[in-house]
Amino acid sequence: MKTASVRPFPMSHVLSTYARFPVTLVRGEGTRVWDEAGKSYLDFCTGIAVCSLGHCPPRLVAAICEQAGTLLHVSNLYTIPQQEELARVIVEDHVKLPGKVFFANSGAEANDGLIKTARRFGHARPMPDGAPRYEVLSFTKSFHGRTLGGINATGQDKVKEGFDPMLPGFRHLPFNDLAALEAAIAPETAAILLEPVQGEGGVNVATPEFLRGVAALCKKHDLLLMLDEVQTGFGRCGQAMAWRAIAPEIQPDAISWAKGMGGGFPIGAFWLSDKTIDASGKTLSSLMGPGSHGTTYGGNPLACAASLAVLAEVAEKDLNANALKQEQQIRETIASWQLPAITEVRGVGLLLGVGLDTSTFAVPEGKLPAAFVCGKLLEAGLLVPPAGPETIRLLPPLNVSDAEIDEALAIFKSVLVTLS
């Protein structure tokens, strides 16, 4: 297959906002990608949990091509049938709770929508003195995007450096520490925002007790329970919604998504519950009415056609079940190695983090251990991303096969053995 000419790494006219690995990828098919020299790699990064069906899946390609030949874009000033259908599928088949969906272009935008909703809710349900509530509580090691709102909600100082002053209305508490959370709730608190599984922060899983406790505190103190499922949603954790893989009985008030819901096509969204918030029958979803929020590209026909194809494939092929099956295979295989370099495997479904004991191998000065190991794995033909300084993420497509898991883990083991 002929590919377009690509200038060699590095790209001198592109801002240096990424610490890129030294490879230029030009083609993909299924779980494999190829660089400009023709070398193939198993892709267990998948655009950081984006390519749910792998690269260039026929159903997604066909949906994009068909829609591109019919109608690419139309303003949200008009009704978009594909958007209406995608919202119905998400609400009825995935969230399974009454509510409404807003479509954006990314996870950061979706999370900004949640933050704005929390502020609106704080106006509708103010403090006893009539002043609006505005505070959003989130957690250390969280990640909620790179917008100004997103970095303020994120519980990692590294994303905030040089962007002072921070916005008021955010505090970060220890993850899975219910007592600390309860002690921190103040009169101005309006919402709690959390990831069921913290992907960027090291693949840290919320415990069932913690999620249930957070939900109970939200009811007790009239707070919104907002879940960031940008990396976890739509099958990545073996359920349509990751919170149901941990504490299925809870009912969130708001959820954000992006990444895997488009299979590689940019799309994000957030859902708001139809629950009533006052005696007049006003609903939470009605707080974001005309003029409260908007986007030029979000939810256009092309993006929604792509997402509909992805979600249909995940459902019809029961890829949620495959994610859980392959999780078990990965855990059992890695446990059988008994390698000192590996401390544990964390995560749910196919959002897994392999913890590294960095005392068992030498790391070059100036290199973070996980990034160094990811570089060695790349050289050996396996693409994986780090999650913090001492964790490797495994994010294969949801339709990954047994043989591909075996091949990837063989590469992983051989590299760790060589380093140790």
Task: At 415, give phi and psi (nearest 5°).
Answer: -70, -45
Residue 9 has pLDDT above 60, yes or no: no
- Tokens (6 digits) for 179: 């007592």
How many degrees, rounded to 5, is the angle at CA 353 between CA 348 and CA 355?
Answer: 135
Distance of CA 167 to the CA centre of its chain: 23
pLDDT higher than threshold 70 for residue 417: yes
Look at residue 2 and tell me whether its pLDDT is greater than 70.
no
Residue 420, pLDDT score: 85
- In this predicted structure, what is the pLDDT of residue 188? 98
So what's the pLDDT on residue 12?
77
Q: Pick the closest to residue 230 from 202, 260, 251 (CA basis).
A: 260
Read off the pTM.
0.95
Instruction: From residue 367, give the alpha-carbon distance in Å to each of 15, 183, 343, 355, 383.
Output: 21, 38, 20, 17, 18
pLDDT at 28 over 90: yes
Percentage of residues of the chain with pLDDT beyond 70: 97
How many residues are listed for the chain in this entry? 420
